[in-house]
Amino acid sequence: MHAIGVDIGGTKIAAGVVDEAGTILAQTRRQTEPDHAASIDAAIADVYAELSASYEIGAIGLAAAGFVSADRSGVLFAPNIAWRDYPLRDNVARLIGDKVDIVVENDANAAGWAEFRFGAARDVDDMLTLTIGTGLGGAIVSNGELVRGAWGVASEIGHMRVVPGGHYCGCGHEGCWEQYASGSALVRDAQAAVLRDPGRAARLLELAGGSADKLSGPHVTTAAQEGDELAIELLAELGRWIGEGAASATALLDPALIVVGGGVAAAGELLLAPARNGFASQLSGRGHRPEAAIVVAAMGNDAGMVGAADLARL
Amino acid sequence: MHAIGVDIGGTKIAAGVVDEAGTILAQTRRQTEPDHAASIDAAIADVYAELSASYEIGAIGLAAAGFVSADRSGVLFAPNIAWRDYPLRDNVARLIGDKVDIVVENDANAAGWAEFRFGAARDVDDMLTLTIGTGLGGAIVSNGELVRGAWGVASEIGHMRVVPGGHYCGCGHEGCWEQYASGSALVRDAQAAVLRDPGRAARLLELAGGSADKLSGPHVTTAAQEGDELAIELLAELGRWIGEGAASATALLDPALIVVGGGVAAAGELLLAPARNGFASQLSGRGHRPEAAIVVAAMGNDAGMVGAADLARL
Amino acid sequence: MHAIGVDIGGTKIAAGVVDEAGTILAQTRRQTEPDHAASIDAAIADVYAELSASYEIGAIGLAAAGFVSADRSGVLFAPNIAWRDYPLRDNVARLIGDKVDIVVENDANAAGWAEFRFGAARDVDDMLTLTIGTGLGGAIVSNGELVRGAWGVASEIGHMRVVPGGHYCGCGHEGCWEQYASGSALVRDAQAAVLRDPGRAARLLELAGGSADKLSGPHVTTAAQEGDELAIELLAELGRWIGEGAASATALLDPALIVVGGGVAAAGELLLAPARNGFASQLSGRGHRPEAAIVVAAMGNDAGMVGAADLARL
Amino acid sequence: MHAIGVDIGGTKIAAGVVDEAGTILAQTRRQTEPDHAASIDAAIADVYAELSASYEIGAIGLAAAGFVSADRSGVLFAPNIAWRDYPLRDNVARLIGDKVDIVVENDANAAGWAEFRFGAARDVDDMLTLTIGTGLGGAIVSNGELVRGAWGVASEIGHMRVVPGGHYCGCGHEGCWEQYASGSALVRDAQAAVLRDPGRAARLLELAGGSADKLSGPHVTTAAQEGDELAIELLAELGRWIGEGAASATALLDPALIVVGGGVAAAGELLLAPARNGFASQLSGRGHRPEAAIVVAAMGNDAGMVGAADLARL
């Protein structure tokens, strides 16, 4: 059965027809307004109309950045879109006429599921994905099933506290893992390094056009790939936090594989090698247990779309 | 079907015949030698002989304090018993003649499973148990299934790191949750308070016969129940760490219920109220999500036996 | 001998004629431009001209927010004014014709010195002042002498690290004390509380005109004085950090008195009581040593002016 | 004037005649009983009798491990000797007949003073010494004067808190610097490494005769000097904590020199290079200020004796 997967971002949606092997047969996009939830409903109905003209569609999966309700029908809360207890499924169903099953999934869960079914984790039953962009999202698969939790909001792994009294987080707490293991953390650490030691940060500043405010994660990756010492250290620090936090998560979950996706994964071994070291240095019971591998995600930016489509078929 | 559950401690085993409703129909015990693994095999065979004389037994569940192999046949490593990659199931099977299925389970998993099936968590599908004695063991149930992990060593929740550079742990790392949320932590904190402020610790010292070395968790609970301010603070600090760590675990797992068992649970609300406050203060997304309740375990000391028996039947 | 003390802020200077008892006999002010260092030189010369018309002046003390050189002639670095290795003394001397001695002092040192000579600490020989405004400045007096350090930059106490991996600081590091014990920290913590728990933060939000971005320290103090629970907790948390950090500083310095000044001191006992508790809870060797009192500063906003004038006379 | 310096340890005292250039002209020792304070008084009188037979003695300085009273006449509290508000000066004076001035000094202060007057810091006016043995003692000299504090107990630098919720300390608190930067910390970290990773710890275990309990600081230094990777890492971690804590102390004190003495200083550059890196990485305002050098102490084990003698002459 073909399903449509829709990746709902703040200002646009990307939708695709996905077959049972996880292959995207067709894709389309629409602009949306984050403050105007109905514009998203309409855009979804619109892409359905477009894509269902050429393909027989059995289900629609909607990947949403927010807390998804346990029955997968709506969004309890979203940080960047005007959704509060929003009945996304029913609103879309009304617009398209109840023709197919519609399910809502958390976007990081959807992306992780794609890795589990078709990507880097397709050969294991227990895995953890870390989707590291601006923030840090997670997906947990245990014994072949997605861990959704009692109310659908499991895998908010970026808000595991790793430093009491640590960095402020947008969630109102301190010391959340995503404040140490995310693209935002990388950028802030790079900016702090510019303040502390402008001499060593010269190449980073140059890449940022001379302004620390303009520094981005890709600037750090580029500089590191050129051999810039500071940039290599910054990625190593990010990797260390990824690995150390993953060791804590592993104490709970014992995954066979930890998949690192999202923008920062582009740094490859400059990030992964320190992540593996951090993981090994903090894994409890090491030497007395088999050990998860840490690998880069395989599904790229389409992971959310593919995973949402696949979850909608279940 | 009746099953035998065996709770294997360092110096003794406790075994019982458990029916499908979780009721213990008969019990027995044996002394064992922790440094002599064969003595444990023999004791298990012996209790089987005794109990199977009066009951028809369909399975045996062995609850072991250690890393249990993924196929539930043996123990990879145990901190307090001389087991290293030890084929516990086959050794016992040889002694008793292969008459029944034998499965090995981690003791905290077994105890948690008993709470899930017959105890405090029998009405939910997603739960976390914290068994707080000398250390801190956990059990995770997700969507009605025990989370064992890829290699059987999930739920080692006491080794989630909560303070980088924090208290030394017996596992060789620093800052493990069980060094803040366990009976051992309570005792050490009480001893530190004696050093810091002997005046306020007078009642605790008295209960310990005048020697800080003799202080125990029950002394603190007794003093707190009498209204001793320092003891109340010590339990509140323990509770705070239980709740704050539980908030991190909840970010990953979203349980409907968090069940607190083990010796310290005897402190009741003196512990639970601060645990709930700590949980609420650190739960990410609070107000935008339903919230797990924190309750005391219902199955008492037999939880491991009952849970092991029940898991052996699955 | 009369001396002029000048308190140099980002956008204005305040100057006064101070007698040997620390009394301000006359005052005046000028606007300045922080990005234009010469405008500050000129303004100082100008206030000297004005004040010396009516008083015989023996010395000028300049209180500057920055790293002051060991010979007290200039500013090595200032975070908010365009001074880099700036010869402030010589520039001003050139403008006024070398008639009087001019010395430059760090502003927090000057304010602390005023407390030592004429204010809350006038009866002790060893003290520590904490000037808590946007940031956290300190002054140390040991055996009756101001501790300036080898290069004039001692007492930068706000940059003692109190949490490894803690809050980012404007200095480029993490976990500096001033990120936990300052008006800025209070405001950020209040804003985080709004995010976490808008219900409890209702009164704070109201005081801020409905916008968390507009929250200020005085809003928190006002709400706390009205009895608002959250505001009281926020001040208590700030006080706790003041006291705990002061305990660390006391391990090094053993002051007789710790004087808390700056804007937040307006909160009085709502701040001081928790500060004293935090101090007592963390002071090493407590019970085996006399213990510093923690009191509010007595010299108010003129402390910097008075202290700079007095130090110029030495 | 010649003075006698006495270094009072737990089970023995070492005394020497010291001239004004800091040279030891004669030495002697006595056994003492730490639980029997009078045995120490008597031993001091006895060495005075012996040494004053050959030298004209003008003063006696007694270096004591404990809180020394502000008037330098006695010991408020000692962790390892049975001194509580003990009038050491008067007791000794009574035994020897009031012939010379006697002053009591904290042992780490005495050792630091020797470095300041005759050793590694003889060319500076502002310094900090760190005496790193089992614990971490400090001495602060500001503008040429020893910082004693209001009640004589300044420079207890080992009890500055560096990790909230960190390692337990013998003082009853958590996270004291000496639990991260001392020989004891080194040994515990080495033992933890043995637990975590016995393979890498093979050489350390061998040096300790196969028993982690027997591991000592010198074993780690020896292994590191042989090139053992784990031992090098352990010293680097110790050095990192020395440097990072020193950066916090420098925010307060701005010393020209930080002198590292005590047993661990034997590790030389294996310790000092990481200490300098840690210091540089955490020093606030770096690049805008001159920077303290970190060097090894020059006075060796006699520093306490020499410093106490010299301080007695002041």
Does D161 share its domain with D218?
yes
DSSP per residue, C165-218: TBSB-TTS-BSBGGGTSSHHHHHHHHHHHHHH-TTTTHHHHHHTTT-GGG--HH
Contacting subunits of C (3+ beta carbon pairs below 8 A): A, B, D
Closest residue, chain B, to D193 (C-alpha): B172
Does A243 share its domain with A220?
yes
Q: What is the phi-psi region of residue D112: left when phi exceeds 0, alpha when psi lies from -120 to 50, beta otherwise?
A: alpha
Task: Give the CATH number of the domain where residue B65 resides.
Answer: 3.30.420.40
Does A256 share its domain with A192?
yes
Does D107 share its domain with D150?
no
Average pLDDT, chain B: 96
Radius of gyration of chain D (CA): 20
**Subunit contact D199:A164, Cβ cutoff 8 A:** no
Restricting to D residues 18-77, those with a Cβ less than 8 Å away from any Cβ of C are: 67, 76-77
Contact by Cβ (8 Å): C78, C67: yes
As given in the structure block, the two tokens for residue D139 are: 């001495």
Contact list in A for residue C165 (CB cut-off 8 A) is 163, 166-167, 175, 180
Instruction: Tell me the per-residue pLDDT of A51-90, one tens digit each, with 9 for 90 and over.
Output: 999 999 999 999 999 999 999 999 999 988 989 999 999 9
Q: How confident is the model at residue D150 (pLDDT cuts 50, 70, 90)?
A: very high
pLDDT at B102: 97
The neighbour count for residue B296, using CB atoms within 10 Å, is: 16
| In-domain check, residue C195 | yes
Instruction: Tell me the per-residue pLDDT of D23-52, one tens digit each, with 9 for 90 and over.
Output: 999 999 999 988 899 999 999 999 999 999
| In-domain check, residue A119 | no
Does residue D179 register a pLDDT over 80?
Answer: yes
**Looking at this predicted complex, what is its ipTM?**
0.95
Cα–Cα distance list, C49 to C15, C30, C64, C307, D131 (Å): 11, 12, 20, 21, 53
pLDDT at D231: 98
Measured at the CA of D207, the angle between CA D203 and CA D213, to 5 degrees, comes to: 105
Does A37 share its domain with A90?
yes
Instruction: Tell me the per-residue pLDDT of D286-305, one tens digit each, with 9 for 90 and over.
Output: 999 999 999 999 999 999 99
As given in the structure block, the two tokens for residue D182 are: 């001392």
Alpha-carbon gap, residue A66 to A135, rounded angstroms: 12
Give A151's contacts (C-beta < 8 A, 6+ positions apart). Answer: A69, A70, A76, B254, B256, B289, B290
DSSP β-ladder status, B67-68 and B75-77: antiparallel
| In-domain check, residue D236 | yes
- A168 DSSP assignment: B
User: Mutation test of the interface with chain C: which of D254, D281, D286, D294, choosing the one with the most C Cβ atoms within 10 A?
Assistant: D254
Does residue B98 register a pLDDT over 80?
Answer: no
DSSP β-ladder status, B127-132 and B136-142: antiparallel
Instruction: Determine contact: A199 vs chain D, CB below 8 A.
Output: yes
Instruction: Tell me the per-residue pLDDT of A259-274, one tens digit each, with 9 for 90 and over.
Output: 999 999 999 999 999 9
Does B138 share its domain with B31?
no
DSSP β-ladder status, D136-142 and D75-77: unpaired
Contact list in C for residue D244 (CB cut-off 8 A) is 161, 164
| In-domain check, residue B161 | yes
Q: Which pTM does this prediction carry?
A: 0.95
Does D51 share its domain with D142?
no
Q: Please name which of B112, B113, B105, B34 lies closest in space to residue B73, comparing C-alpha atoms.
A: B105
Contact by Cβ (8 Å): C50, C57: no
Does residue A99 register a pLDDT over 90?
Answer: no
As given in the structure block, the two tokens for residue D99 are: 């012939």
DSSP β-ladder status, B145-146 and C3-8: unpaired
Three-state SS for A216?
A: coil
Does C157 share its domain with C268?
yes
Helices (H), chain C: 37-52, 88-96, 107-118, 183-196, 202-207, 217-226, 229-253, 269-282, 303-313
Give D34's contacts (C-beta < 8 A, 6+ positions apart). Answer: D10, D11, D80, D81, D82
Contact by Cβ (8 Å): D109, D155: yes
Instruction: Tell me the per-residue pLDDT of B256-266, one tens digit each, with 9 for 90 and over.
Output: 999 999 999 99
Between the CA atoms of A45, A51, A54 and A57, what dihedral angle is there, to the nearest 10 degrees?
A: -80
Contacting subunits of A (3+ beta carbon pairs below 8 A): B, C, D
DSSP per residue, B274-313: HHHHHHHHH-TTTTSS---EEEE-SSGGGHHHHHHHHHHH
Contact list in C for residue B286 (CB cut-off 8 A) is 196-197
Alpha-carbon gap, residue D202 to D265, rounded angstroms: 24
Residue C286 has its nearest CB partner, among B164, B196, B286, at: B196
**Subunit contact D252:C249, Cβ cutoff 8 A:** yes
DSSP β-ladder status, A75-77 and A67-68: antiparallel
pLDDT at C16: 98
Does D16 share its domain with D80?
yes
pLDDT at B10: 78
| In-domain check, residue B119 | no
Does B29 share its domain with B108?
yes
Can you tell me the mean pLDDT for A21-38?
94
pLDDT at C79: 85
Closest residue, chain B, to C286 (C-alpha): B196
| In-domain check, residue B118 | no
pLDDT at A151: 95
As given in the structure block, the two tokens for residue D242 are: 């020395």
- Residue numbers in chain C where pLDDT is lower than 70: none
Helix axes C217-226, C183-196, angle to 10 degrees: 70
Alpha-carbon gap, residue A16 to C38, rounded angstroms: 64
| In-domain check, residue C46 | yes
Sign of CA dihedral C276, C282, C285, C288: positive
Average pLDDT, chain A: 96
**Subunit contact B167:D171, Cβ cutoff 8 A:** no
Cα–Cα distance list, B15 to B42, B52, B60, B74, B304 (Å): 13, 11, 10, 18, 10
Does D181 share its domain with D76?
no
Contact by Cβ (8 Å): D88, D74: yes
Does C149 share its domain with C275?
yes
Q: What is the phi-psi region of residue C227: left when phi exceeds 0, alpha when psi lies from -120 to 50, beta otherwise?
A: left
As given in the structure block, the two tokens for residue C56 are: 């015989």
**Subunit contact B287:C198, Cβ cutoff 8 A:** yes
Q: Alpha carbon A52 to chain centroid distance?
A: 28
Contact by Cβ (8 Å): C217, C135: no
Question: How many distinct structural domains can be found in chain C?
Answer: 2
User: What is the domain extent for residue B224?
Assistant: 124-298
